[in-house]
Amino acid sequence: MKRTTSLFPVILLIVVFFTVIFYSDCTGNKQKDFHLYLLIGQSNMAGRGLVGDLDKQPHPRVFTLTKENTWIEAVDPIHFDKDIAGVGPGLTFGKTMADKNPNIRIGLIPCACGGSAISHWKTGVLFEQTKSYPYDDALKRAKIALKDGVLKGILWHQGEGDSNEESAGLYEQRLAEFITILRNDLGSQDVPFIAGELGQFFLKDRPEANIVNEALKRLPERVNNTAFVSSQGLTPKDDGVHFDTESARELGRRYAEAMMRLEKN
């Protein structure tokens, strides 16, 4: 009797091969379509605006990395640096970016730290107010997030903590050096970096803030693939330091517009 060779093993190998190819392709596409944005700086990035109903409404394609490093639908407050965290520019930024491109998901990586000076954003530097290491913590969280998506940009709002005689004049150089180091540590030397202007209402009591704002304005001339976002017309809370809720949202929209311009280049 003639022996018949079974085709089952061959068919099984073919099925497994194409399943692996299909799965890898789908996973890769999902990761490429998950656009990640790192939110860093101090309290006006973390947000101190009063949370309203609008800020509690999630967007089906906007997520945030929690303190426990898990992804959830983003609602304010997305930051957790201090108990007073509220509405900042991050959520509106994410929603605006998602609305402009229905084929992507947005992942926000909140790492701002209220009260921190730019000198706290260095490797191994402890920030006593929050008992945290702003730079190290942000880098660690960003790398965790990068397992699931692609880093598309960095949002920075900081400088109130450097609006003094000792630090303001050094801010421009320190910021440029910070961006270079951060990009290198993230393995992305050209990732878009957007800096927001300090609230113009803040200048009344802190004249050195003018020096910081001028440094922020000159950033695109000094560092490649960066942008500056104006705070013109934005209004404060009663404390005269933090953006109120609507101004924080508007700042988020301005960050998104600047990011989209950089992404087109």
Q: What pLDDT, on a 0 to 100 scale, did the predictor assign at position 10?
A: 40
DSSP per residue, 69-126: S-EEE--S----SSTT--B-SHHHHHHHHHHH-TT-EEEEEE---TT--GGGSSTT--
pLDDT digits (tens, 9 = 90+) for 29-74: 448 999 999 999 999 999 999 999 999 999 999 999 999 999 999 9
Residue type at 226 in one-letter notation: T
Share of the chain above pLDDT 70, in %: 89
Q: Which residue has the tokens 């600047």?
A: 258
Q: What pLDDT, on a 0 to 100 scale, did the predictor assign at position 29?
A: 41
Q: What pLDDT, on a 0 to 100 scale, did the predictor assign at position 131?
A: 95
Q: Say yes or no to pLDDT of 229 above 90.
A: yes
CA distances from 114 to 85, 111, 129, 181 (A): 9, 10, 9, 21
Q: Say yes or no to pLDDT of 204 above 50.
A: yes
CA distances from 247 to 92, 120, 122 (A): 11, 26, 29
CA distance 200 to 232: 7
pLDDT digits (tens, 9 = 90+) for 21-38: 333 333 344 489 999 999
pLDDT digits (tens, 9 = 90+) for 107-119: 999 999 999 999 9
Q: Say yes or no to pLDDT of 158 above 90.
A: yes
Share of the chain above pLDDT 90, in %: 87
φ/ψ of residue 156, rounded to 5 = -125, 125
Q: What pLDDT, on a 0 to 100 scale, did the predictor assign at position 14?
A: 39
Structure tokens at 104: 């992507």
CA distance 59 to 72: 11
Strand partners, 107: 36, 63
pLDDT band at 7 (very low <50, low <70, confident <90, very high): low
Q: Any idea which of 12-21, 92-101, 147-156, 252-261 has the lowest mean pLDDT? A: 12-21
Strand partners, 65: 71
Q: What pLDDT, on a 0 to 100 scale, did the predictor assign at position 186?
A: 98
pTM of the model: 0.88
Residue type at 251 in one-letter notation: L
pLDDT band at 265 (very low <50, low <70, confident <90, very high): confident
**CATH code linked to domain 34-264:** 3.40.50.1110
Structure tokens at 215: 């440094």
CA distance 251 to 194: 12
Q: How is residue 160 annotated by DSSP?
A: G
Q: What pLDDT, on a 0 to 100 scale, did the predictor assign at position 197?
A: 98
pLDDT band at 264 (very low <50, low <70, confident <90, very high): confident
Q: Any idea which of 3-17, 65-79, 101-115, 220-234 has the lowest mean pLDDT? A: 3-17
The better pLDDT of the pair 255, 7 is held by 255
